[in-house]
Amino acid sequence: MEKEAGMAFWFARGLQNLLGYTRWENFIKVIDKVKIACKSSSYKMSDHFPDVTKMIGPVPLSPSPGE
């Protein structure tokens, strides 16, 4: 769980493994379904699913064969 400006929240990638999803492609489908359910229930989606991107550090390149 993250905390910022007095609010507690989770990043989707943090929940992914906790909920047993090993592939992001499968987990994002679930998130999309939950967003539809939220909207259908007359909740304001932006209150529950703000679009946030979290930068990750650079990924080291593997050495070329023969190096």
pTM: 0.59
Q: Which residue has the higher pLDDT, 28 or 48?
A: 28
The identity of residue 8, as a single letter, is A
> pLDDT value at position 43?
86
Q: In a 3-state reduction of DSSP, which class is residue 20?
A: coil
Q: How far apart are CA 51 and CA 49, in angstroms?
A: 6
- Can you list the alpha helix ranges (DSSP code H) found in the chain? 12-18, 24-40, 45-48
Spatial contact of 48 and 5, defined as CB atoms under 8 Å apart: no
> What are the pLDDT digits (tens) for 31-57?
889 888 988 998 888 888 777 666 666
